[in-house]
Structure 1
């Protein structure tokens, strides 16, 4: 199994995201219990340097999986995705060589 990083980009519906967040977090806790999710969390503040047009809200998720397509298929069940709150997902295989996930 490989390690993948998935970046979520959220739409601007902060209120709806707050309403769905408890269900989203329960979904992620289930992935953690199945040893699929290694870590997840929202971005804090804008990237440096901030891109033209500002920075959209989003998050980074680190997961184990067999392929990028398989990881995205698992994340298709995320309540944030179901509700259309995730406007973009970027997945990249990551090869940690130092640290607890190496």
Structure 2
């Protein structure tokens, strides 16, 4: 397994807000299966950070392609990098 951090920048904000409920449902399903470690928008709401636990970059790109945000064209990938956490990932109450 590999951990990937994906930083998004948002665009087409009106369209993004229309699609956001289905995007968040999709993220919840990924979280339930253990594919999504954590995710959330930046405080200025101009982008987001998502952390995935997947087999490889190919699987990650397949997951991103199925995200409702992708066909809606409401984000750009600012950065997509494999990440090696120094400390184990832990469950949070948030």
Q: Tell me, yes or no, whether TM beats 0.5.
A: yes
Cross-structure match for 2:27: 28
- Larger helix share, 1 or 2: 2
Cross-structure match for 2:86: 97
Shift of residue 89 of structure 1? 4.8
CA offsets per residue over residues 5-32 of structure 1, 9 Å max, x none? Answer: 0111211x22211111100000000100
Output the TM-score relative to the length of structure 2: 0.85
Q: Alignment RMSD, CA only?
A: 1.7
Name stretches of at least 5 consecutive residues in structure 1 with no aligned partner.
46-55
Output the TM-score relative to the length of structure 1: 0.79
User: Would you identify which runs of 4 or more consecutive aligned residues in structure 1 move more than 3 Å?
Assistant: none
Cross-structure match for 1:8: 8
2: CA distance, partners of 1:7 / 1:99? 21
Cross-structure match for 1:70: 59
CA offsets per residue over residues 41-69 of structure 1, 9 Å max, x none? Answer: 01113xxxxxxxxxx92110000112223
Name stretches of at least 5 consecutive residues in structure 2 with no aligned partner.
none
Distance change (3 Å), C-alpha of 1:27 and 1:76? same
Equivalent residues, number? 90
